[in-house]
Amino acid sequence: MDNATIVIPVYNEEDIIAENTEKLVNFLDKLDGRYEVVICSNGSTDSTPEMGRELEQKFPEKVRFFHLEDRGVGLAFEKMVNEASHDRIISVDMDLSVDLSFIPICMNLLNKNSIVIGSKRLGEQRRSSFRLLASTIFISLTKILLGLNFHDYSIAAKGYRKGDIIEKLSEIDHGSSYVIDVIYSAKKKGLKMKEIPVYCHDVRKSKFNIYQESIYRLSNLLRLWFRERFS
Binding residues vs Mg ion (CB under 5 A): 93, 95, 97, 202
- The reply to whether 9 sits near ligand GDP by the rule CB under 6 A is yes
Closer residue to ligand GDP, CB minimum distance, 95 or 173 = 95
Q: Which residues pair with 90 in a beta bridge?
A: 6, 159
Q: From the list 155, 157, 183, 193, which residue makes contact with ligand GDP (rule: CB under 6 A)?
A: 155
C-alpha–C-alpha distance, residues 62 and 173, integer Å: 28
Rounded (10°) CA dihedral 114, 107, 207, 198: 100
Least gap, CB of 63 to ligand GDP (angstroms): 15
Residue 127's nearest CA partner among 220, 210, 231, 18 is: 210
Closer residue to ligand GDP, CB minimum distance, 136 or 206 = 206
Report the length, in residues, of the chain: 231
Instruction: Determine the distance from the C-alpha atom of residue 23 to the mean position of all C-alpha atoms in its chain, rounded to a whole number.
Output: 18
Closer residue to ligand GDP, CB minimum distance, 215 or 226 = 215
Measured between alpha carbons, how far apart are the two ends of the chain, in Å? 44
Q: From the list 4, 40, 89, 106, which residue makes contact with ligand GDP (rule: CB under 6 A)?
A: 40
- The reply to whether 10 sits near ligand GDP by the rule CB under 6 A is yes
- The reply to whether 199 sits near ligand GDP by the rule CB under 6 A is no
Least gap, CB of 93 to Mg ion (angstroms): 5
Helices (H), the chain: 17-29, 48-58, 73-83, 102-109, 129-146, 162-165, 178-189, 210-230
Residue 201's nearest CA partner among 104, 61, 114, 98 is: 98
Least gap, CB of 103 to ligand GDP (angstroms): 15
Site string for ligand GDP, 57-86 (x = CB under 6 A): --------------xxx--x----------
Contact positions vs ligand GDP (CB under 6 A): 8-11, 13, 40-42, 71-73, 76, 93-95, 154-155, 202, 206-208
